[in-house]
């Protein structure tokens, strides 16, 4: 079993839809949770960052962490064609070297 599981998609939605992207994980020691966005042929860029449990909102994006269920989500409201990309979750502990563990990424396609 992988430490972090993420549905590869693709997830296809119409413009304006609410998108829900999810990851599950097995290591209960994970404390830092991130979402990266990667456009085709580009490097990933940090989109959202959350420490421990709870929600964080930034514009159209909301990140949620449910540590009891070992489940994190990224919601995109009013999705735009420019949101079409691969979204990778990443997480790490707060001890040791703290390498980020990445999910495999979910490809999102938003059609106009």
Side-chain-side CA neighbours of residue 107 (13 Å): 5
41 belongs to the binding site for other proteins (CB under 8 A): yes
Question: Which of residues 32, 56, 60, 67 is near other proteins by CB under 8 A?
Answer: 32
Question: Which of residues 43, 69, 82, 112 is near other proteins by CB under 8 A?
Answer: 43
CB distance 93 to 3 below 8 Å: no
Question: Which of residues 42, 57, 58, 80 is near other proteins by CB under 8 A?
Answer: 42
User: Least distance (Å) from other proteins to the CB of residue 10?
Assistant: 10
CB distance 87 to 34 below 8 Å: no
User: Least distance (Å) from other proteins to the CB of residue 38?
Assistant: 8
Residue 9 CB-density burial (10 A; 0-12 exposed, 13-18 middle, 19+ buried): middle
53 belongs to the binding site for other proteins (CB under 8 A): no
């Amino acid at each position: 079993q992988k430490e972090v599981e993420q549905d590869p998609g693709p997830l296809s939605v119409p413009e304006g839809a609410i998108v829900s992207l999810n990851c599950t994980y097995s290591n209960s020691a994970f404390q830092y949770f991130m979402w990266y966005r990667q456009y085709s042929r580009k490097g990933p860029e940090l989109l959202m960052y959350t420490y421990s449990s709870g929600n964080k909102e930034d514009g159209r994006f909301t990140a949620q962490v449910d540590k009891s269920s070992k489940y994190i989500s990224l919601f995109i409201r009013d999705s735009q064609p420019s949101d079409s990309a691969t979204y990778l979750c990443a997480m790490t502990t707060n001890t040791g070297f703290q390498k980020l563990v990445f999910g495999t990424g979910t490809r999102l396609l938003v059609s106009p």
